[in-house]
Amino acid sequence: MLKAALFVLGALTLSLLVWHIGITRIYEAVTQLGPAAMTVILLPSLLMYLLEAYGWLVTLGQWANDVPFWRVLAIRTAGEVVNMTTPTAYVGGEPLKAYLLQRQGVPLVEGLASVVTAKTTMTVAQILFILVGIGLGFWLLGAEGSVGQTITAGLVSAGLLIFGVGAFVIVQRQGMFTWMLKLLRRLGLRLQFLESREQQLLDLDRTIADFYASRRSAFLLSTGLFLLGWLAEALEVFIIVLSLGQPITVLSAVAIGALSVFIKGGTFFIPGSLGAQDAGNLLLLTAFGYGEVTGMTFALLRRFREFVWIAIGLACLAMMTKGIDRSRPAD
């Protein structure tokens, strides 16, 4: 019920923003782009998906040689469509990725371990990207007004994220899943699903701990690839603003891209971050000196990109789950 209410509120917010700025004005800005420009706008997100799929692939270790890259890309795209369309803090599609990897011959333990470690390296890269964007935002705009408050909030949040991710890595190295199982037992809770898979949880913890202990180069490479993927978001900002006939610098594009990632991440509890993400993008563009029409058109073009990838993700999901007996639980 709450999810539905948030979705309706977000849709209402977006509709009011479009009505306030003017549907005709926004339509005219979009129609000036043409099919070629709309295609070019999608290229940075394609680059982002390719880089992030490879960033996940390197965490698979020896199993990376057994799964073609295009299948890893399809599985990740299928999992991301679940993350994008459900309010699950962008982790709802992660178990699905491990399950689909298992169907490609990767043992479930290794698949789950790669999902956990790749999510960690992606988050580390995301924090680095946000910190760079916050620094650029302070330098380009200063710390005055509402934007300065947003940047300050972002800095505090990034600090908390750094602490959280650091603690998360430490817990992973100490045995996260078996620790959770022991905690549940101390609380008097014995979940049969977990109890019957205790050995698998032990193996999973060992696999994750081994990744951090003996595969540091893979950790750094994965983090670097995900960071390049996040920087592709800045490239998308640069291309969209230029396509709308407005000037933009590389540093401004990085700052806008990073701060928009922060805003989207902070509104994960709203399905699709509907309304909040769009208002945030509008705020960022106007703070950097662009008009309301440019800001709202920018926000809607990013929504267009999301819809395209949702469609692609659903197609990948249908392809990768074809032939699955849904009445039979996964092992």
Residue-wise pLDDT for 165-202, tens only, equals 666 666 666 666 666 666 666 666 555 555 556 666 77
Q: What is the pLDDT of residue 127?
A: 86
Q: What is the pLDDT of residue 132?
A: 86
Q: What is the pLDDT of residue 48?
A: 96
Banded model confidence at residue 51, pLDDT cuts 50, 70, 90: very high
User: 251 pLDDT exceeds 80?
Assistant: yes
Backbone dihedral angles phi then psi of residue 163, each to the nearest 5 degrees:
-60, -45
Whether 18 is in a domain gets the answer: no
Q: What is the pLDDT of residue 160?
A: 62
Average pLDDT over residues 90-107: 84
Could you tell me which of 108, 158, 106, 132 has the C-alpha nearest to residue 265? 158
Q: What is the pLDDT of residue 313?
A: 93
Banded model confidence at residue 243, pLDDT cuts 50, 70, 90: very high
Rounded (to 5) percent helix, strand, coil in the chain: 80, 0, 20
3-state secondary structure (DSSP) of residue 68: coil
User: 24 pLDDT exceeds 80?
Assistant: yes
Q: What is the pLDDT of residue 35?
A: 85
pLDDT greater at residue 111 or residue 271: 111
Could you tell me which of 76, 79, 120 has the C-alpha nearest to residue 96? 79
Q: What is the pLDDT of residue 206?
A: 81
> How far, in Å, CA of 308 to CA of 297, rounded?
16
Note whether 84 and 312 are within 8 A (CB). Answer: no
Could you tell me which of 84, 156, 135 has the C-alpha nearest to residue 303? 84
> How far, in Å, CA of 194 to CA of 200, rounded?
9
Average pLDDT over residues 297-301: 91
pLDDT greater at residue 220 or residue 186: 220
Banded model confidence at residue 89, pLDDT cuts 50, 70, 90: low
pLDDT greater at residue 13 or residue 285: 285
Q: What is the pLDDT of residue 274?
A: 73
Whether 221 is in a domain gets the answer: yes
Banded model confidence at residue 250, pLDDT cuts 50, 70, 90: very high
Q: Residue 66 CB: number of other CB atoms within 10 A?
A: 12
In the chain, the N- to C-terminal Cα span, in Å, equals 32
Could you tell me which of 192, 234, 185, 183 has the C-alpha nearest to residue 48? 234
Whether 252 is in a domain gets the answer: yes
Note whether 288 and 141 are within 8 A (CB). Answer: yes
Whether 13 is in a domain gets the answer: no
Residue-wise pLDDT for 132-147, tens only, equals 888 888 788 765 555 5
> How far, in Å, CA of 268 to CA of 216, rounded?
30
**CA–CA distances in Å: residue 87 to residues 12, 132, 204, 226:** 18, 27, 26, 22
Average pLDDT over residues 67-93: 82
Q: What is the pLDDT of residue 65?
A: 85
Q: What is the pLDDT of residue 229?
A: 95
The H-or-E segment that residue 276 falls in is helix 276-287
Diameter of the chain measured on Cα atoms:
64
- The structural domain count of the chain equals 1
Whether 157 is in a domain gets the answer: yes
- Mean pLDDT computed over every residue of the chain: 81
Whether 197 is in a domain gets the answer: yes
Note whether 201 and 194 are within 8 A (CB). Answer: yes
**CA–CA distances in Å: residue 269 to residues 90, 99, 263, 277:** 9, 25, 12, 12
Token pair for residue 202? Answer: 């032990």
Whether 307 is in a domain gets the answer: yes
Q: What is the pLDDT of residue 193?
A: 53
> How far, in Å, CA of 180 to CA of 1, rounded?
29
Which ranges of the chain does DSSP label H, i.e. alpha helix? Answer: 2-21, 23-31, 34-57, 69-85, 94-102, 108-141, 145-174, 176-186, 192-195, 198-214, 216-243, 250-266, 276-287, 292-320
Q: What is the pLDDT of residue 172?
A: 66
Question: By residue range, what is the domain housing residue 273?
Answer: 36-319
Q: What is the pLDDT of residue 49?
A: 96
Whether 9 is in a domain gets the answer: no
